[in-house]
Amino acid sequence: MPIFERISPRTSTTEGRELGKRAIGILSLLFITILWGSSFPIIKIVVSYVNSFCYIFYRNLIALLILSPYIFYKFLKKMIEKRLIRDGLITGLVYTSALWLQGWGTEYTSATCSAFITGLNVVFVHLYTILFEKKYSRMLILELALSVSGLYLITKPSGGALMGNMIVLVSSILWAVQVILISRYAPADPITFTYFELVPSLLYLVPTLLTGELLIVNREVVMGLIYLALTCTVIAFTLQAYGQRYVSPEVAAIIYLLEPVVATVFSYMILGEKLDIMQLIGAVMIILSITLATIENTYISERRISKRMMNT
């Protein structure tokens, strides 16, 4: 039997597994993007009652308590790598800073505007790709043009407080750094990585005490914090750490552009915020860029796998 025929079944099986992992990775990122999109009107409600320090501290404290039994088990079994702790803490410093600035800025602008400015992190991820990794494709340029144009149509007409928008813009840069770091570290144990990514947020206990907002009595705020901690932090960040093991950071960033579109829907349902016709056109352009990115990622993956298997 020829060598090519002997390795053909194995090649097909391995290729199928690789594509399957990438498909699950993309679906994971799409799902968490929906969760994150739902968070913006909730964040707007929470920061209307408490300051951003208190919001960050309690949101992540609840998430840490949820994850603690798993981490305690891994610690007893001596299954936690020091590298995972280090990588998680480094990423956590960026994450908590981005989350704080996002919450602070959302106090002064609409949830919809905050969501779409946050979506600009895709631009910074792509700039990183151009400047440091020296790789870009024509299709990716088209996707970026569509996404940026869509964000322009949505953000420019909506106006909003300049101070709030600028603060959220700075947080957008940090969100891009977080996306890049997670893709670089590609943690094998996403739950443990997520836990240590949240640990630096405990530092916000100090300003929370200093501002006298340690005690929260508003039931709506408490329920909002629990929702943000469970779905938008524990579940979302675990799936993000998993999904970005199989999806490049530039494609992941474009998928995350669905976040402001989802945020718009939830902001309308919960807060009554609306988009005009030009903003709706921008939203459609963003969805199109996400679709193109997903198709291209699958195509490139197929070619890389096939080429690698032929060279084996």
**pLDDT for residue 255:** 82
- Residue pLDDT, tens place only, 1-23: 333 333 344 455 666 677 788 88
Alpha-carbon gap, residue 273 to 264, rounded angstroms: 8
Alpha-carbon gap, residue 307 to 22, rounded angstroms: 17
pTM of the shown model: 0.77
Which residue in 173, 155, 156, 68 sits closest to 115, CA to CA?
Answer: 155
**Residues near 48 by beta carbon (within 8 Å), at least 6 away in sequence:** 107
Most confident among 51-65, 208-222, 257-271 (mean pLDDT): 51-65
Of residues 289 and 9, more confidence is placed in 289
Average pLDDT value for residue range 252-277: 83
Alpha-carbon gap, residue 163 to 98, rounded angstroms: 16
Q: Name the strand (E) or helix (H) holding 74.
A: helix 52-76
- Give the range among 54-63, 152-161, 226-235 with minimum mean pLDDT: 152-161
pLDDT-above-70 percentage for the chain: 83
**pLDDT for residue 149:** 85
Task: Indicate if the pLDDT at residue 300 is higher than 60.
Answer: no
Under 8 Å between Cβ of 52 and 108: no
SS3 content of the chain, % helix, strand, coil (to 5): 85, 0, 15
Dihedral sign computed on CA atoms, order 196, 126, 108, 46: negative
Under 8 Å between Cβ of 165 and 110: no
Of residues 27 and 126, more confidence is placed in 27
Of residues 37 and 137, more confidence is placed in 37
Q: Where are the domains of the chain?
A: 25-135+160-270
- Residue pLDDT, tens place only, 38-84: 999 999 999 999 998 999 999 999 999 999 999 999 999 888 888 99
**Residue position matching structure tokens 């992540």:** 60
- Tell me which amino acid residue 65 is: L
User: Which token pair is 155?
Assistant: 């953000």
Of residues 244 and 102, more confidence is placed in 102
**pLDDT for residue 14:** 65
Of residues 32 and 158, more confidence is placed in 32
